A and B are shown apart, each in its own frame.
Chain A
């Protein structure tokens, strides 16, 4: 009990010294809990949305193989009007309504601006039914009546500043359709972002399906006392079991949620991964804090041992303090996590996603996970320092414990670190030599982990040499003697410097490796584009919408273009001679595509693949299934016939564009598909006459102005877009890594602050013999800078190795240009020096303010 009391008192006596460790725990736990709360809240929101929008029983068209990509293969599948009347007759059905809805639309306002969501949520066009009144309330105007009226949801109206009477143009597969806003309807549950327009049923059928008398689904409402399951059974019985897909409200909601949930899970685990990195970095901070506290308390611990405390008791007393730190940090972290989640929701709100804090979901596991994680990690981090405390000899009480000068890094550490690093290096090398991606990634993963561990272990040993080199280059020119003092201080406890730098290393290594991969990606793709793309222009939508037939016709008719190529993705089930079959996507294009994208073949002739009933396959596929030129594959076109196509060419895979694509002529696809199952084009390519490119480009842009969902890009634009995309992705990841880097910077602050306290006497002495405040502050700043630069050097070096290894591995997938982004690397290195300066601000200020006499008198 006394031991516990002593721990408690120690903890609160040194709460200032614990503060930054606590912040590290708080941040990491907050990030974990924030992620959990945020994703849980998103799930709740979608659950409620799907639950409220699903009918008691939904009848929908049966899905066929390869139809997973929704309506991309042409128009939506439908159920006939006859099914609707049958459903109405079913036992227990109070009512049934035909639903018409499609996400294959783009809606633009009078200025040809897309009114859809900017966050990737779909635009949905549907018929307004009585069932909709349950979830939406018309808050102004009236429901759409007749062919000239459209109703829009209130969130979209507000975001796009739409008023009654405004004109909206709906661009659907069947063509363009203009109507005026007759009403605005408000969701009664939270709609995270989909833009919704409603027509009356006949108009919806005409606009979205191209014909009346059919629906995309039937919503059946149960009579009082009839369960959904029973109703489903009855409806199934009256419509025929195999004809359609039947779902109860719960099943429909669940299946919608599954799709969304998968997406949310990806986000959740990615965010948790970053939180994990921050937590790992926090470990170093906590290790350092406890090591320093134990070192400062050596005499006190010696006394405890001298009066009879056992090793275990000393050990436990330190761990008790860690436990307190963990508990307090985690509790605060859980609270902060909820706040973070709310902040994230607000942020998403700014980005155009509606989330309501009233749906904030905190399940009991969230605080439990947060607490467990925070406490366990803190205890884990404090374990080694606690053991070291236990080993303090009772004699330490008697010894005069001044500031230790140098702590030598051990030989065991050097050997172990070198072994780990070498092992990791070998694994990385193996990854570059791997011929199979899966095996290579395994090596890469092992290499990354081993080299990181190795450098963490060996870091203190390297500190000696590297810090000296760094300070010769950076400190001495600026610092003179003060710089040398700073260098010596940074070197006096390599273990501490190593741990502080390692924390920074982890974050920066990830930054460096990703920037290497990112810029290699851009460089490879650029090279690939230069090498293989012959088309002058590429037309594509930014939101995954296919190119509508009307636009396709427009492009084909464009006078400025010499050749125009359509590119369609056709779903099919392919059976290879080895007897295996699988769902594949064929790239059905015009033969001119061969000029638009030059592909090298391994065998055969690509031109022959455009012959009647011929195709090409990629070399990986050919190898896997033992397909050779001349073989015939059984291709079952989704929604069409099964045909035998001859493999006329096997394409090489060393490319990042169209990897593994199976080409065939659009004509071949048309031959085996009914007209209404021929998918719209996913992309189109065009080439102008030589010398007329600029004029053609301008003409095309003008042509496509009414269709804001499509972008026409020339090669330069395309490269830029690619670069932007990679850049955006990297920025997002850097943003998430910032948390780990912030924790690492706190670690630098922590180390400096604690060592300033530890060196009180020395600082007093130096001040007494004439070190000016300014010089003292500079000394601490320079020490901070050199630690930060040391961490940056390790991190950037390691990261570049990781990045290069990853690129070598990804070369298998067409990432064959290694480009080190030196400006980024240089900026990060310089930025680290800045970070070092910032980290030293407070410790340096405090050291400067230290009273010289008190410092000398400190016992």
Chain B
């Protein structure tokens, strides 16, 4: 088993902990007995604060499930999840809702906006629901960052898809959540609008120090992130810092090959982790935690590094 765990206290800026969210031994399974399907298999992950993290993986790899669990949208079967220092596993719906409302922002692939509200009302909706007054100055900053001044009084149906997603980003940013989760936020956009959108996300990390976690299957989108986590079969099989689209694509291809039964897995050298510990953002790099304890018979316990893990995973992926 592989992990992507950072040392929570080794960096960060001031009051905010360096780890915005984390999962420990996270298992999410559906059904039971013969029909049991494991979507997440003892995942350990830390989301560094102030960083743009992308979660990638083939469909069915569990990337959306991981995001939903981290965001308090879905319940977990085993393991613990923390947002900041607070454990959210076991929280009742009421507290979870409040957590989502006050500390988390969302950008979905589509249907992000309420059709009955105009752009501005959509942006301030989470704060309205909470009964809070938006911080005027901040709101102004967010709106100018996403460039929506002209369109604030338009209803979603009067906005283009790209504009709608920008409103969604603004909404997510406006409440100053600790983390923003994006579920394929560019999935419905053409490449230009998508690029624009990712630019906004990137800027909000760089300029507003926002923590963002984005699920995507688009290498180009992933390239905007600081760090890319790769999921396959419910496990984190690799990660990459400071990715480029080519590197991501390359890794994806390898991953696809390696999970293709019967294919011999080449050693994965070039796609090793970027020197994350040196980027000054408080991520110390990746420690591979040996996750063998109590695990199944597939013998994945002994991987000393992510690459090994990846390879081993690939080998394992070839099992019948």
Contact = CB atoms under 8 A, between A and B. Distances in A.
A complexed with B = yes
Interface of A: 400, 402-406, 480-482, 485, 488-489, 491-492, 761-762, 765-773, 775, 852-853, 856
A485 B126 CA distance: 12
Interface string B112-149: 11111100000001101111000000000000000000
B116 A772 contact: no
Contact of A765 (B104, B114, B130, B131): B114
A492 B125 contact: no
B244 to A, nearest CB: 31
Contacts of B157: 405-406
B115 A770 contact: no
B99 to A, nearest CB: 8
B116 A768 contact: no
27 contacts: A400-B110, A402-B110, A402-B111, A405-B116, A405-B156, A406-B115, A481-B128, A488-B114, A492-B116, A765-B106, A765-B108, A765-B111, A765-B112, A766-B125, A766-B129, A768-B71, A768-B100, A768-B106, A769-B100, A769-B106, A769-B126, A770-B130, A771-B97, A772-B101, A773-B93, A773-B97, A853-B74
A488 B97 contact: no
Contacts of A400: 110
Given A767-B97, A770-B130, A853-B73, A762 B115 contact: yes
Interface residues of B, number: 33
Given A765-B112, A770-B129, A771-B129, 15 more contacts: A402-B115, A406-B157, A482-B129, A485-B117, A488-B114, A489-B116, A765-B108, A765-B114, A768-B100, A768-B106, A769-B100, A770-B97, A772-B97, A773-B97, A856-B73
B116 A773 contact: no
Contacts of A768: 71, 73, 100, 106, 108
Nearest to B100: A770
B108 A770 contact: no
A794 B228 CA distance: 60
Given A481-B128, A767-B97, A488 B108 contact: no
B68 A853 contact: yes
Which 4 A-B pairs give the minimum distances between C-beta atoms?
Answer: A770-B101, A405-B115, A488-B116, A481-B128
A189 to B, nearest CB: 66
Interface string B64-80: 00001001011000000
Contacts of B155: 405-406
B256 to A, nearest CB: 25
Contacts of B115: 402-406, 492, 762
A771 to B, nearest CB: 5
A69 B131 CA distance: 75
Contacts of A773: 93-94, 97
Contacts of A766: 114, 125, 129
Contacts of B111: 402-403, 761-762, 765, 856
B246 to A, nearest CB: 32
A492 B97 CA distance: 26
Main secondary structure of the interface of A (DSSP, over half): helix
B31 to A, nearest CB: 16
Contact of B131 (A480, A491, A853): A480
A768 B97 CA distance: 7
Interface string B51-93: 0000000000000000010010110000000000000000001
Interface in B7-29: none
Contacts of A492: 115-116
Contacts of A489: 116
Contacts of B117: 485, 488
A677 B101 CA distance: 91
A486 to B, nearest CB: 10
A769 B116 contact: no
Nearest to A852: B73
A769 B97 CA distance: 8
Nearest to B157: A405
B196 interface: no
Contacts of B105: 769
A472 B267 CA distance: 68
A829 to B, nearest CB: 26
Contacts of A769: 100-101, 105-106, 125-126, 129, 171
A775 B94 CA distance: 11
B98 A772 contact: yes
